[in-house]
Amino acid sequence: MGNNFDLAEYMSSGIENIVRGIVKASLKNPRETAFIMKYMMASKEAKKNRTLYESKGHNIPPFLISSISSSCNLFCKGCYARANKSCGEGMDNNQLSTERWDGIFKEAKELGISFILLAGGEPLMRMDIIEKAAEIKEIIFPVFTNGTIMNDSYLDLFNKNRNLIPIISVEGDQQQTDERRGKGTYKALVNTMELLKEKGILFGASITVTTENLATVTSKKFFNKLYIKGCRALIFVEYVPVAESTKDLAPSDGERLVLEEGQAKLREEYEDAIFLSFPGDEKYTGGCLAAGRGFFHINVNGGAEPCPFSPYSDMNLKDCTLLEALQSPLFKKLKESEMLLGEHTGGCLLFQKEVEVKEMLGS
């Protein structure tokens, strides 16, 4: 894939291709078709809202990442969330309330934010918040779940509210997934995929890319198994080491190139699916998208952070609006320093510049 790859254009045309595929199958899936047609209109309106705020000097990103739960039923090896103390048992005393999350989602709609990624912990452990998200039809909420606790109530919720899109975490084949996530996990998530397919619910998959699973997860054979089950989006997230002992799991520059080439082949082969790589695809946008340039992260306690891998905050959504959080002094310093811009060779830029980010927070 050459340097002329246009990520924004790819996302736009990829969504249109998915829509075409859904329309062709509309007799089987009228609910999905009706939702996506309405969403495409809402998406144009959202873009107008962002442009309006931009004319007033406010940059509104199209994406938001929200960690809505600090609880998780799995104990994955090398889990970043547990390592940085954003996930674990007995950590729910200070979490944002259901009402505040509801308010944030409504504020996001008014600002023109089109996508809010719901993460955790395990977000399905907070049905109260996901039900609030379901009500905001103008926003698509990809829900990043480990896929092991998808019960009838959730299937019904996803079926009735097509703006909620399950993104199921998988580590590769059965051995690779069970090795990292626990025995029996792979079978549980495959069962979840089959239940989603039965109901015609659009879903995607998320993969933490390591040196151990790179060859598997970039292969056509691997994705085709997911595709047959109804998967129409694949999100590659490069592994961020949680300790010195796990550094060898993080992809090298050469391995990132293998990921990029594998992803390019999949994009050519499957036109009605979307393939994204984080942070790899950021180099096509002129730098890191964190700190409100393209998205920012709200942690489970309400802190506005540049990105999940740069967990530093000087604003809290308990005490400010979403628009005020975007004016965070830390975000402003990061943008003015031009740390986020320029050459992006791969890897998490802000994670690599942790010392500089901490200095900005303290200054």
Domains of the chain: 7-75+88-362 (3.20.20.70)
Task: Using pLDDT thresholds of 50, 70 and 90, give the confidence band for residue 291.
Answer: low
Per-residue confidence (pLDDT) for residue 1, from 0 to 100 = 44
50-63 core/surface letters (b: 16 or more CB in 10 A; e: else) = beebeeeeeebbbe
Higher pLDDT pick, 281 / 304: 304
Residue 240: its pLDDT value, please? 75
Q: Phi and psi (nearest 5°) for 331? A: -60, -45
Q: Which residue has the higher pLDDT, 97 or 355?
A: 97
What pLDDT, in 10s, does the model give residues 159-180? 999 899 999 999 999 999 988 8
Cβ atoms of 76 and 87 closer than 8 Å: no
pLDDT in tens, 180-209: 888 999 999 999 999 999 998 889 999 999
Cα distance between residue 107 and residue 64, in whole Å = 12
- Average confidence (pLDDT) over 95-118: 94
Q: Give me the pLDDT at residue 253, please.
A: 81
The alpha carbon of residue 325 and the mean position of all alpha carbons in its chain are separated, in whole angstroms, by: 20
pTM of the model: 0.84
User: Per-residue confidence at 332, pLDDT binned at 50, 70, 90?
Assistant: confident
**Tokens representing 355?**
């010392």
Long-range contact pairs involving 175-181 (C-beta distance under 8 Å, separation at least 24): 176/212, 176/213, 176/216, 179/77, 180/76, 180/77, 180/78, 180/208, 181/74, 181/76, 181/146
pLDDT at 308 over 90: no
The confidence score (pLDDT) of residue 340 equals: 59
108, 58 Cβ separation under 8 angstroms: no
CA distance 169 to 184: 14
Give the model's confidence band at 84: pLDDT under 50 very low, under 70 low, under 90 confident, else very high: low
Looking at residue 275, its pLDDT comes to: 85
**Averaged over 39-65, what is the pLDDT?**
86
Q: Does residue 287 carry a pLDDT above 90? A: no
* Widest Cα–Cα separation across the chain: 59
Evaluated on CA atoms 344, 287, 307, 141, the torsion sign reads negative
Res 345 pLDDT > 50: no
What pLDDT sits at residue 18? Answer: 55
Q: Mean pLDDT, the chain, as a whole number? A: 81
Q: Parallel, antiparallel, or unpaired for β 304-305 and 297-298?
A: antiparallel
- Cβ of 199: how many Cβ atoms within 10 Å? 13
Question: What end-to-end distance do the CA atoms of the chain give, in Å?
Answer: 41
- For residues 69 and 71, give the distance between their C-alpha atoms in angstroms, rounded to a whole number: 5
Residue 346 has a pLDDT of 47
State yes or no: pLDDT of 317 exceeds 90: yes
pLDDT > 50? residue 25: no
Check residue 114 and give its pLDDT: 86
- What's the average model confidence in pLDDT over 45-71? 88
Radius of gyration of the chain (CA): 19
Query: How big is the chain, counted in residues?
Result: 363
- Helix, strand or coil, per DSSP, at residue 65: strand
